[in-house]
Structure 1
Amino acid sequence: MLHIALMASENRAAFALSRDYPGGRKGFVAAMNQTAKKLKMLHSHFFDPTGLSPLNVSTARDLTLLARAAYRYPEIREYATAHQKLVLCGDGPLMYHNTDPLVYDASWHVLMQKTGFTNEAGHCLIIVTMVQGHPMLFVLLGAPGRHAHFKDAAALRKWLFKKPTLHR
């Protein structure tokens, strides 16, 4: 469930994971908010496990903190960058695909990613990719169109490659 939630933005999988968490969905969301507090995500609050509720709020700064923490887990990086996953279920096999087209482009060398969309937030992308030999984290929020966040990431990456040297 975690694999397809991260890779394919499968919200039903995230919801299912929360159902079996100690304390159920309420306990899961409480743990999400506890983790946000622990990570010093000062402007984030979660209301549901999927990220679909307009009551879920965050900022680019807070999502940067979350992405840096998530990057420490090899399974998260692996699942988030997988191209596809076959899931066997009662109704037969289902094939899920990554929602981020950049993971299919070898020149991007995507190390971690997560896409998202709500009407309130627009199209969003968190991606870690190699730029001039350094892992770079982009947090792009509020893109107006279905592919605008990917185009914005490409433009940002292109601009960074033109810089003579990158300083950390």
Structure 2
Amino acid sequence: MPTKSFFLAPLVVAIAAGTLLPSAASFAAPHHPAKAAHKKAAAEAPAAPSAPGQTAVAGGAPSLPAKAWLLMDFDSGQVLASANADEPLPPASLTKMMTSFLVEQALRSGKLKKDDLVTVSQNAWCRGSSTESCMYLPLNGQATVIDLLRGIIIQSGNDASKAIAEHMAGSEEGFAKLMNAEAQRLGMTHTHFVNATGLPDPEHKSSARDLAILARAIIKDSADYYPIYAEREFKYNGIKQGNRNALLYTDPTVDGLKTGHTEAAGYCLVTSSKRNGMRLITVILNTNSAQARADETRTLLGWGYSNFEKATPIQPNTVVGTAKVSFGKADTVAAGLGSPWSLTVPRGQQVQTAVQLNPALEAPVAKGAVVGKVVATSNGKPVGEAPLVAQADVERAGFMLRAWQHVAKLFGK
């Protein structure tokens, strides 16, 4: 699939390259010589060694100068290509995806309201140091939950993250327990959170695969709030800050998710893009500059859309098999897909399917009950599966008919 290039203006090109920063007035924050020196050193950092990837595509995956990276199909959760996908690494502010996700789930459940006021403690207050991102909440002031959510996602505010953590769990340590419990529920097996911000801690780790799982959960389960991840700027307390995800300014198919950076973590980026009905998630961990994380993400997305396509192995409402039913008024029931099923497969590859039906079904069987599954393979490798459900009800037979069926089974009839 050809990838289109979008040129908005030289201004946008400068933003994408990481060479144009907002003015001091727009940030309303003091100049920090140490921060400027740190940025200069980071810009001059040597390129990270390239990490060759693994993929089912003939010819292999790209080799990207990042310690770990991953490309995931959103619909299925299938990893399409990766390098060092399960290596626990410092996630920096990518951590805040879990912080924002917990806030979003609390809003969905009613535990939090958008207009609830959150007090900014001494511990949460950001002093505007050169080493962390701030929303610049006033000490002992209050902010609404929805403003804090924007401050976490768009401005990457450590103060916003700490304030909401204390509000929800009493302390940041208590909130970290909620984060780890949710990570376990989602299947993030190489992740352990110590804080709500991603500030460095030897025990604070996550992996490329786990962060993609989290990104997928945010897109699926936080639909009401996911558009915030695409917002380019947020103004609070008279201070306007821009989203650090450069791709939001240059690629209209990109609508999230989060950037991160510390000295230990390098430059990191989790991105989601949707083109022609296919959504891909990318994770780049520990590359050497803001420009590199954007460039590597562009490369990975372009490669993904060029090398993969959607396939529909079986059309909805198609009967694909007949399952035998014991002790029912009918001996069999038709089996088919319960919902539309599509896969993302290497472009041009054929997909084969194999039906597996439950051999021990007994009536009653309700319409829509799972009676088996269909497994898809490509080039001899499994690429996905979907449940098969009963297409009709099968009532349980009366006593005499069941007795006869028992006898028939004994004699193998």
Which of residues 4, 14, 23 is equivalent to 2:161?
14
Cα distance, 1:85 vs structure 2: 1.3
CA distance in 2, matches of 1:164, 1:16: 42
For structure 1, the 5+ residue unaligned runs are none
Q: Do the aligned partners of 1:6 and 1:76 also contact (CA within 8 Å) in 2?
A: no
Instruction: Say whether residues 1:109 and 2:253 are aligned partners.
Output: yes
Partner Cα distance (1:160, 1:30) in 2: 36
Q: Which residue of 1 is the match for residue 212 of structure 2?
A: 64
**2:295: which partner in 1?**
151
Amino acid at match of 1:63: L
Moved over 4 A (4+): none
> 1:18-37 maps to which residues of 2 (within 5 A)?
18-37=165-184
Q: What is the CA distance between 1:164 and its match in structure 2?
A: 6.9
Does the CA contact (< 8 Å) of 2:270 and 2:281 recur in 1? yes
Residue 133 (structure 1) shift: 3.1
In the superposition, relative to structure 1, how do residues 157 and 22 fare at CA in structure 2: closer, same or farther (>3 Å)? closer
* Cross-structure match for 1:141: 285
Task: Look up the match of 1:85.
Answer: 234
> Which of 184, 190, 200 is equivalent to 1:53?
200
Which residue identity is paired with 1:24? Answer: S
Match of 1:98 in 2: 243
Asked if the contact 2:280–2:301 (Cα under 8 Å) also holds between the matched residues in 1, the reply is no
Gapped runs of 5+ residues in structure 2?
Answer: 1-147, 311-342, 345-413
Q: Measure the CA separation in 1 of the matches of 2:225 and 2:199.
A: 20
Aligned to 2:272, the other structure's residue is in SS state: strand
Aligned-partner Cα distance in 2 for 1:130–1:148: 21
TM-score between the two structures when normalised by the length of structure 2: 0.38
From the superposition, tell whether residues 132 and 36 of structure 1 become closer, same or farther in structure 2 (CA, over 3 Å).
same
* Percent of aligned positions that are identical: 28
Q: Which amino acid aligns with 2:234?
A: K
Equivalent-residue separation in structure 2 for 1:164 and 1:67 (angstroms): 20
**Contact residue 80 and residue 112 of structure 1 kept, 8 A:** yes
Q: Distance in 2 between matches of 1:164 and 1:71?
A: 21
Q: Is the 8 A contact 1:131 1:157 kept in 2?
A: no
Return the letter of the residue paired with 1:23. Answer: G
What's the CA shift string for 1:96-127, capped at 9, x where partnerless? 2111111122x442232111112222111111
Structure 1 counterpart of 2:411: none
Moved more, 38-47 or 76-85: 76-85
Residues 119-157 of structure 1 deviation map (CA, whole Å, 9 limit, x = unaligned): 222111111102443110001111112221101011112
What residue identity is the alignment partner of 1:69? A
Distance in 1 of aligned mates of 2:206 and 2:298: 24
| Structure 1 counterpart SS, 2:309 | coil
Shift of residue 163, structure 1, vs aligned partner: 3.0
Contact 2:183 2:191 (8 Å CA) reproduced: yes
Instruction: Check conservation: 1:29, 1:47, Cα contact below 8 A.
Output: yes
- How many pairs were matched up? 163
Separation of aligned partners in 2, 1:145 and 1:101: 12
TM superposition shift of 1:35: 0.5
